Amino acid sequence: MQTIISTRSIGDQDLHTTTMRSSFGLVKRSLINTRRLPSAFLPSLAMPMFNMIAFSGTFFAITKMPGFPTDRSVNWFMPLGLAMGSAFSGVALGFSLIRDLENGFYDRLRMSPTSRLSLVVGPVIATWIRVTLVAAIVFVAAFLLGARPTSGVLSYICSLIAALGIATIGAGWGLGLAYRFQDMRGAAIMQLSIFVTMFLSTAQVPLDVMTGWLHTVARVSPVTNIFRLARAGWVNESSPDYMSWSNVYGGLLAIVILSALSLTFAMRSLQQIDN
Amino acid sequence: MSESPIIAIDLVRHFGDVQAVKGINLEIKEGEIFGFLGPNGAGKSTAVRMLTTLLRPTSGTARVAGYDVVNQADMVRRNIGVALQDAAIDPLMTGAELLALQAVLYGIPATSLKKRSDELLERVGLTAAARRRVSTYSGGMRRRLDLALSLIHQPKVLFLDEPTTGLDPMSRLTLWEEVRRLNKDGTTVMLTTQYLEEADQLADRIAIIDHGRIVREGKPADLKASIGAPTLIIKIHADQNERAKSVLSTFGELRPGVEGEIGVGLQGGATQVADVVRKLDEAGVHLQHLEINEPSLDDVFAEATGYRLEGSDNAPPAGDNGLRDNGTVEPLTKKSRWGRKQRR
Amino acid sequence: MIDVALAQKSGGDLAEHSLSLSMRQTFALAKRSTLELFRQPALVVPSMLFPLFFAMLGNSSFGRTTSLPGFPKVDSYLQFQLAGTITQGVLFGSVTGAAALATDIQNGFFDRLLAAPTSRTGILLGRLAGSTLFGALQTAVFVFVLMPFGASVSAGIPGVLAMIVSGALISLAVGALMSSVALKTGSAEAVQGTFPLLFILLFFSSAFFPRETMSGAYQTIAGLNPISYLVEGLRALSLEGFTASATARAILVPLAIAIVALGIANSQLRSRLRKH
């Protein structure tokens, strides 16, 4: 990763800009901002908590449906809450980018000779750090509310990977739209599209419970695979979705492919920003 | 550098149907301070955005620091420093943090980062404020930090986009001093401004841009001279008015002056003053006062564009943005965001 | 005050006949706020489409859950869900209206109104008339769009009309509460900021699932939550038919809340006026 993009000398010094170093400079900035403006970060934390608590409570009775994969509603809805929070953290990157674009700070970044890749990678890494923090808090809260993993540490790891994956996909999508719209119109589209996409899957109920058009859509949605990964360690051993390579594999693949697509979209959009 | 540091050839930029820049040709020589003068919406910011790689030209080419702004954007970026109009700075960061980030983005080695950053803070007088958040800075401090940021990599070419808009007179003088100092050290400076006085004070050469075209270009003195006749103003006793006027009208067109004064545009230039005095004396006119006013950049601007810049005596009210309301509106395209936001 | 609001809602005739200057001003402001709302499709469309999307999503997701113990007897989940959808949509819409009021305060339009000899209460009611009308419209749209998918209204046409009145009153009540926030803070962001709070209230109510199926603490919270009662009044009309009890619950509960909310909004308006 230590590719030197280009070099120039001033005085007796050589100036090397590397994607890695610039990315970490931007990670640092993003984390400093999070620390100094926690109110911008709170929704990313409040959303998964609220989602988990509200859904587990409101839809408590669905675990009584015949064949439901778990009898604990928190087990079922915690991964949904975490996924929602991660998606939000991802697109929130788009919001802060829009702020930078609107107040002109982003011009400064764009005028620097650093690699364009670092302008995308840096903020995404910062998002991973924030999502990991949120996940840790959500895991503790879920445990207190009665969630119990069925595959030990692996349960948590799978949920975290799913969360990071969703955050990456959301981030690429959010950044790309922000580059294209450069104002808050982009923010509305980011939020709408990502949440609709999330819900058109097994987000709320398992495939066996749903009926009609949603079943048709959710069955083929890659997001369903990601939810299967996120919940593999939270459903009963007797469930066909219980932790196994075949239940995890599809989610991992979906994350890799969708992340690649959305980050490519972000890079492409950044390259067209000067048009 | 063999090639001039800034060259633009037929540079054009459209935003949809709006032609913001309609074909600009420029050559700025090494070591010059070049003033780019025009009201808001004239296209100067668009032009500068193209020269600084932020915006792709619709057609035409530009080379900055010896590199093409489109195909060699990365090398251009490496060699230019840009101070933005609104000093757009992340308000949550401290001055020192921003300098550190800037240093990383420009590849300043970690070993010399601190030293370089301290030097610059010292230079712009922000050492004491370095650990404070930018949101606590005054307008002048933001501009100075902005300048420091743009200098982190010792750029050969410096773009200053309206560096003093909204600053108080003291802060403006400080900034002008710093620009002169940088220029003396060999930095080529392209300065965008809507203040005639700023251009007059700082620039070796200026270009006036209006409606996307350069309408005048040259040294301030030459441009002023091109307006032609300087204005001779005399003060005399009121009962000699008619006699004086008939004498003066033989030298050129009479120009309105304030009460008790008569002005004339000297067709033959300032060298005619001796003749004027002699003829007045012969006619028995007793001069109480005489002055000769060279044409100002304001006159040049008015002659070139057909209108005068509001507040062209260059005393923008403190905290005001001077020209924002003079009726020339920047085309409101989503891309023309440079300077769209005004800080209060 | 409520009469005035209803009068505006029932169209121009009444206001035209009224000779009171204050009524005419109120009407003019009502017209402005209504037009303003409809001229911003970006604000209006989501508050129409989102609840519909969630209704359809819910119907597919929870269609089979209606057989669970504790679930009332329904033709479909959608029939149960209709009341929740209306409430959800109206909550969305009312925030938009109140945010517009806060924007008026921020950009000085409100001061201009106050400087004019406009009736003070008229300013408030005029502003709320827009959201009230919009609430009625939303209710009608939700009922007619979801009906073919199984959201039948047992109370028939009179029931649908009662639902529309109920929806308008809920919108007035929530709009007045949100306007209090707007008047208190003068910030559109603060108004938008209360939105998550409303959303949380909505989720901790019986808007999406019957209270009877909930467990322990959730059941208690939903039982204390006023939104549960707003939803259940409406729901009674779709499930029980056009009974006196159902109609009374659908109309009186939001009416009572609207009166209290208008009182709060009015006192916030007075206290803002005192600052001038």
Q: What is the β-pairing status of strands B157-161 and B188-193?
A: parallel
- Which residues have CB under 8 Å from B89's CB, separation 6+? A105, A108, B98, B134, B142, B145, B146, B149
CA distance linking residue C252 with residue B200, whole number of Å: 75
Q: Under an 8 A CB cutoff, do A214 and C65 touch?
A: no
Query: In the prediction, which pLDDT does C8 show?
Result: 45
Q: Residue B335 phi/psi, 5° resolution?
A: -90, -20
Looking up tokens 């359809």, which residue turns up? C56
Across C207-219, average pLDDT? 88
Q: pTM higher than 0.90 for the full model?
A: no
CB-based burial label for A244 (10 Å; 0-12, 13-18, 19+): exposed
Touching, A vs C (3+ Cβ pairs under 8 A) = yes
Q: How far apart are CA C24 and CA C17, in angstroms?
A: 9
- pLDDT at residue B12 above 60? yes
Residue B224 has pLDDT above 70, yes or no: yes
Q: Which two tokens stand for residue C120?
A: 């003070």
DSSP-based three-state secondary structure for B5 = coil
Confidence class of residue C45 from pLDDT cuts 50, 70 and 90?
confident
- Closest residue in A to B75 (Cα) is A113
Which is more confident, A264 or C48?
A264
Contacts of A77 (CB under 8 A, 6+ apart): A51, A52, A55, A56, A59
Q: State the chains in contact with A (3 or more Cβ–Cβ pairs under 8 Å).
A: B, C
Distance from CA of B342 to the nearest CA of A (A): 9
What's the domain count of chain C? Answer: 1
**Which of helix, strand or coil describes residue B107?**
coil
Sheet containing strand B205-210, strands side by side = B80-83, B157-161, B188-193, B33-37, B205-210, B213-218
Q: CA C23, CA C4: separation in Å to the nearest integer?
A: 8
CB contacts of B55 in chain A (<8 Å) are 274
How far from B299 is each of B133, B293, C6, CA to CA, in Å?
44, 11, 65
Written as six digits, the tokens of A272 are: 């067209």
What average pLDDT score do residues B93-122 get?
92
What pLDDT band is residue B258 in, cutting at 50, 70 and 90?
low
Q: Name residues whose C-beta falls within 8 Å of residue C223's C-beta, 6 or more positions apart in sequence.
A: C211
- Looking at the complex, does the CB of residue B56 fall below 8 Å from at least one CB of chain A? yes
C-alpha span between B136 and B49 (Å, rounded): 28
For the CA atoms of C62, C66, C68, C73, the dihedral, rounded to the nearest 10 degrees, stands at 160
Place of tokens 């984390």: A31
Between B148-152, B204-208, C171-175, C269-273, the lowest mean confidence (pLDDT) is in C269-273
Alpha-carbon gap: C110 to the closest alpha carbon of chain A (Å): 25
Determine, for residues A50 and C203 on separate chains, whether the beta-carbon distance falls below 8 Å.
yes
pLDDT of residue B321: 34
Token pair 């913001």: residue: B20
Which tens digit of pLDDT belongs to each residue from B20-74?
Answer: 999 999 999 999 999 998 888 888 889 999 999 999 999 999 999 999 999 999 9
In angstroms, rounded to a whole number, what is the distance separating the alpha carbons of residues A253 and A222? 9
Task: Tell me if A111 and B338 make a contact (CB, 8 A cut-off).
Answer: no
Query: Which residues of chain B from 106 to 135 reach within 8 Å of chain A, CB to CB?
Result: 106-109, 112, 133
Report how far Cα A78 is from the mean position of its chain's Cα atoms: 15
**For position A10, what pLDDT does the model report?**
65
Range of the structural domain that residue C26 is part of: 2-275
Domains held by chain A: number: 1
DSSP secondary structure letter of residue A273: T
- Determine the pLDDT at residue A172: 96
Distance from C-alpha of B176 to C-alpha of A189, rounded to nearest angstrom: 45
Q: Which DSSP letter does residue B94 get?
A: B
Residue A56 burial (10 A CB sphere; 0-12, 13-18, 19+): buried
- Neighboring chain A residues of C61 at a CB cutoff of 8 Å: 204-205, 209-210, 214
Q: C276 vs C16, which has greater pLDDT? A: C276
Residue B334 has a pLDDT of 34
Is the CB of A103 inside 8 Å of chain B's CB atoms? yes
**Residues on chain C touching A214 (C-beta within 8 angstroms):** 56-57, 60-61
Q: Residue type at B161? A: D
pLDDT over 70 for what percent of chain C? 90
Which residues in chain A show pLDDT less than 70?
Answer: 1-14
**Better-predicted residue by pLDDT, B91 or B295:** B91
Does residue B194 carry a pLDDT above 50? yes
Q: How far apart are CA A156 and CA A134, in angstroms?
A: 13
**Predicted-assembly ipTM surpassing the 0.90 threshold:** no
The structure tokens listed for A30 are 């993003």
Residue C235 dihedral angles phi and psi, to the nearest 5°: -65, -35
**Could you read off the pLDDT of C218-247 as tens digits, one per residue?**
899 999 998 999 999 999 988 888 888 888
Among C59, C68, C209, whose Cβ lies nearest the Cβ of A58? C209
Picking from B148, B45, B43, B27, the residue whose alpha carbon sits closest to that of residue B94 is B148
Backbone angles phi, psi at A72, to 5 degrees: -110, 120
Find the helix or strand (DSSP H, E) in which C88 lies: helix C77-107
Q: Is B84 an interface residue toward A (CB < 8 Å)?
A: yes
The pLDDT value given to residue B328: 37
Write out the DSSP string of A201-237: STTSS-TTT--HHHHHHHHH-HHHHHHHHHHTTTS-T
Query: What is the CB-side half-sphere exposure of residue C63 using CA atoms within 13 A?
Result: 18
> What is the pLDDT averaged over residues C62-79?
88
Provide the angle, in degrees to the nearest 10, between the axes of the packed helices B110-123 and B139-150: 140
In this model, does residue C274 exceed pLDDT 60? yes
Is there a contact between A182 and B90 if contact means CB atoms under 8 Å apart?
A: no
Q: Is C141 exposed, middle or buried (0-12, 13-18, 19+ CB in 10 A)?
A: middle
CB–CB of A113 and B341 under 8 A?
no
Residues near C203 by Cβ (< 8 Å), separated by ≥ 6? Answer: A50, A54, A55, A57, A58
Task: Say if the Cβ atoms of C57 and A204 lie within 8 Å.
Answer: yes
Q: Which residue has the higher pLDDT, C88 or C118?
A: C88
Q: A92: distance to nearest CA of chain B, Å?
A: 17
The tokens of A148 are what? 């119990």
Residue of A26, A36, A274 with shortest CB distance to B92: A36
- What range does the domain containing A13 cover? 2-274
pLDDT above 60 for B327? no
Burial of A21 (0-12, 13-18, 19+ CB in 10 A): middle
| Chains C+B touching (3+ CB pairs under 8 Å) | no
Q: What is the pLDDT of residues B282-307, one digit of tens each?
A: 888 888 888 887 777 777 887 777 76
Contacts of A181 in chain B (CB under 8 A): 334
Say whether pLDDT at B104 is over 60.
Answer: yes
- CA angle B105/B108/B112 to nearest 5° reads 140
Residues B82 and B161: their CA atoms lie apart, in Å, by 8
- Chains in contact with B, where contact requires at least 3 CB pairs less than 8 Å apart: A
- B313 to chain A, any CB pair closer than 8 A? The answer is no
3-state secondary structure of B137: coil
C-alpha–C-alpha distance, residues A94 and A255, integer Å: 19
Q: Across the interface, do C208 and A214 touch by the CB < 8 Å criterion? A: no
Per-residue model confidence (pLDDT) at position B226:
78
Element (H, E) at C239: helix C226-240
Q: Assess whether pLDDT exceeds 90 at residue B101.
A: yes
Tokens representing B302 are 């008015």
Q: Does A238 touch chain B (CB under 8 A)?
A: no
- Rounded-to-integer distance, Cα A129 and Cα A134, Å: 9
Residue B187's pLDDT band, with cuts at 50, 70 and 90, is very high
Q: What is the DSSP letter of B317?
A: P
